[in-house]
Amino acid sequence: MNSWERSWRPVQQAGVGDEEARSGLSELLPDVVDHFTPGGSLPDDNQLAASVQDYLRRLS
């Protein structure tokens, strides 16, 4: 099993179809990238850690 197949396994286990997963990712990923790279650059480690914690809070 290659890395792509391993990474797609949770999608299959959740019963989500390939097209639905791709559509969801295409909507989610731009927001994730924008959130973690403010102004188009990667923040320092402390800022990045705080950003990750903030994003996880928003998801729950």
* Measured distance CA(56)–CA(8) in Å, rounded: 21
pLDDT band at 42 (very low <50, low <70, confident <90, very high): confident
Token readout for 54 is 């903030």
pLDDT more than 90, % of the chain: 18
**pLDDT given for residue 53 in this prediction:** 92
How many separate domains does the chain show? 1
* Measured distance CA(39)–CA(30) in Å, rounded: 13
Domain span including residue 30: 3-59
User: In this model, does residue 44 exceed pLDDT 80?
Assistant: yes
Out of 1-5, 21-25, 55-59, pick the least confident.
1-5
Number of H helices, E strands in the chain: 3, 0
